[in-house]
Chain A
Amino acid sequence: MNENKKNVVLEEPEAKAQTKVEPKAEETPKISIPNLLTVTPSPHLRHRDSTRTIMLEVIFALLPALLWGTYVFGLRALLVCAICAGSCYLAEYVTQRAMGRPVTINDCSALLTGLLLGMNLPATAPAWLAIVGSVFAIMVVKQLFGGLGHNVFNPALAARVFLSLAWPSYMTNFTAPYARLLFSPADAVATATPLVSLKHGALPGASLLDMFLGNVGGTIGEVSAFFLLLGGLYLLVRKIITWHIPVTYIGTVALLTFAFPQVGGVARWEFMLYEVLAGGLIIGAFFMATDYVTSPSTRWGRMIFGAGAGLLVVFIRYFGGYPEGVSFSILVMNSLVWYIERATKPRVFGGAKKNA
């Protein structure tokens, strides 16, 4: 035994020296099992989608509508959205640092909130308005409620409503399409949005095709149903969202406006299509109401959520003081999410275990 050991000791340095001089290409280095292995609970695999990739995909899906907004309203539209996104990002960083929470700006949720808020502002919005809205969305609506996953209300929508209540004139200063604002809103030509016409009992001047493509006045992101639907379809195909909320939301509005038209002398379906395409219904249905955090996680819950929001939109548009009801409808339904989820708890496969 001892002799053997000696032999091994003697041989080793030689072998090492040899490999140093001429490393053999065929021999792969022997890797030993590490002393420290990671022990985690199962499962040991994860789906590739993470919070970050989902947020980035939603941002990607919003880009066509944003580019269209920039095309019809001018570069200023892009600037407003950039200010919102940037200040949301910063606000998230500052708030999380100030509150001593882990900084999670890399999840890109603040960027998405900022982009959505920007697309919900008119292109004429001053920079300070965009910044105030962003800070309100992130600090008050999101972080004060506990941060991502804990906020009750959709931050972008709550900020939009806050700005509308605080500075209504800035928030309704819509420009006509193709105003092509550069950096100053001074030369804006004010226009009434299709919703305002509808509120006053008349069809808007724009044709249905113009409404569908987005040749109308409105906020940066809401005008083009076509590009929003393109983005929404992408989200559906990528299984980021399910069909339940958009279909029940838009479907309820369509059904109610078809059943109870408010403008005489036109076909029911024509009035219905104007109502569906006007205002923020499409962007709301695909991008705001489907916000994970503030919508139910159950199938039936999502359908109730969508139908409830649709009902509220029509009520507000018909009987309320405001021409638009999308923001309010979603915020009201946001506050009911917990109850809806509890009421729509799925039935356990094969029936729940009985009490032992």
Chain B
Amino acid sequence: MRLSFRGGIHIAGHKETGKLPIEVMPAPGIVRISLAQHSGPPLKATVAPGDKICLGQIIGMSDWKFACPVHSSVSGRVSAIEKYYDPVKAAWAEAVIIENDGLDTPDESILRAQAQKREIERLTTDEVISILKYAGVVGLGGAVFPAHIKIQNSLGKAKTLLINCAECEPYITVDHRAMLEYPEKLLGGVDIIIRAMGIERTMIAVEDNKADAAAVLAGMTEGRADIEVKLLKTKYPQGDKGMIIYALSKTKVARSMRLADLGYIIFNASTCVAIYNACAEGMPLTQRVVTVTGDCIKNPKNVLARIGTPVADLIGFCGGLVKAPEKIINGGPMMGNALWDTNYGLTKGMSALLALSGRDKKDELPACCINCGRCVQHCPMRLMPNYLARLGKAQNYDRCYEYNVNDCLECGVCSYVCPGRVEIVQYIRQAKNALYAAGKR
């Protein structure tokens, strides 16, 4: 029996980019760095238009206790600070627009950190936390939760470290390439976490469509009794924290439970690489790997690009478009957000940029639930999405609450399998928002 969970569904992977090495993209002439790149309220700009700034200089911060700074990914001059509506947060936020001078003059803080020649084996827990905080390291899988907060909150409780390399969403191959190309850095990041937190057991969970990467990691961890590489069945949403823990340990984690209280802490594969880079090289998070793909992209690639690289430049680096896309999506096709314009720069949470052509809408009928029960069958949380959609449509939110709408992951499996093409997840989100506003969480 392959390790997995009940429900969910196998979705065609489209992971052709998994075979392509990561390509470094030259820094663009202008970067557009969002100040809403981690969970929580957007940051405030700490620079002003006209300022000369260096690579790695902090450009946005706030005094919120879980705040995590954002750094400039190039050196140059701030040309403007623009207000824009963030499609991921669905809120107004600011973006700092920087003209690149092409020199990549590093900031003093980086020079200082590099001069220190830190020995990563000797870092104390507090040092790791403060390094990660000032390096702006957040979860790169898409949830963008600050890494230092995660470590702080789980200290002394979490004894098992899970490295989430499931990468269950179609198209995305960022973690796959990270495992193949930076396995030392990935395992270096793992060791930093193990030492900082006193972790006893580490499991690296990889979906079996990336068996080559799992073999690389297994080879490198041979002889390490505390690290195991586990193969999981390729099924969406295998990478969800509840599903991955169930697959590995058969423990069912309720949505309301905190993982730390159960003794777990989870990091994504790319985040481990970022943690290593921050601790060993003193580099703040100013670049990330993003899979630029979709049927409209000429040469789909895994691109290592500066944070803030405009979407149009990313597409241009991949040979441009072969046909006009209907949608451009920030993230995977199941949980990503459709962008309404290309006035958007690469963010820390953007694991993929998809340009997809539309479906043939000729025969499309009005959305209609025929109660086929596929959503109920496939819901990994065992909800009744058919009822939630119906009740949500009728704005009967109290009944949605009774049907446990707040336990929904919004993984999108229900909408995916729906033959009646009902936007089930959207009704669920509306219900959740209405309940949140009414104080029922």
Contacts and interface: CB of A to CB of B under 8 A. Distances in A.
Interface stretch (A43-51, A157-165, A186-194, A218-226): A43-51
B339 interface: yes
Interface in B295-350: 298, 312, 315, 320-329, 333-342
B252 A350 contact: yes
A109 B9 CA distance: 26
Nearest to A351: B254
Residue from B87, B312, B340, B419 having most chain A Cβ neighbours under 10 A: B419
Interface in A313-356: 341, 345-356
Nearest to B171: A45
Given A297-B371, A348-B382, A350-B254, A39 B338 contact: yes
A33 B257 contact: no
B434 interface: no
B320 A298 contact: no
Nearest to B312: A33
Nearest to A104: B365
A107 B328 contact: no
Contacts of B321: 31-33
B386 interface: yes
A44 B421 contact: no
Interface string A282-316: 00000000001101111100100000000000000
A161 B287 CA distance: 69
Contacts of B342: 33
A42 B256 contact: no
A30 B298 CA distance: 11
B255 A149 contact: no
Interface in A155-189: none
A93 to B, nearest CB: 14
B254 A40 contact: no
Given A51-B419, A345-B384, A346-B376, A43 B369 contact: no
A38 B336 contact: no
Given A30-B320, A104-B365, A350-B255, A43 B407 contact: no
Interface residues of A, number: 53
A349 B242 contact: yes
B356 A349 contact: no
Contacts of B253: 350
A54 to B, nearest CB: 5
Interface string A6-43: 00000000000000000000001011111001111111
A327 B346 CA distance: 60
B416 interface: yes
A86 B319 CA distance: 52
B441 interface: yes
Given A149-B369, A297-B371, A352-B407, A38 B327 contact: yes
B407 A41 contact: no
B39 interface: no
A144 interface: no
B181 to A, nearest CB: 27
6 contacts: A39-B87, A41-B425, A43-B425, A50-B421, A106-B363, A349-B246
The 6 closest A-B pairs by CB, nearest first: A297-B373, A43-B412, A350-B254, A350-B252, A41-B426, A346-B382
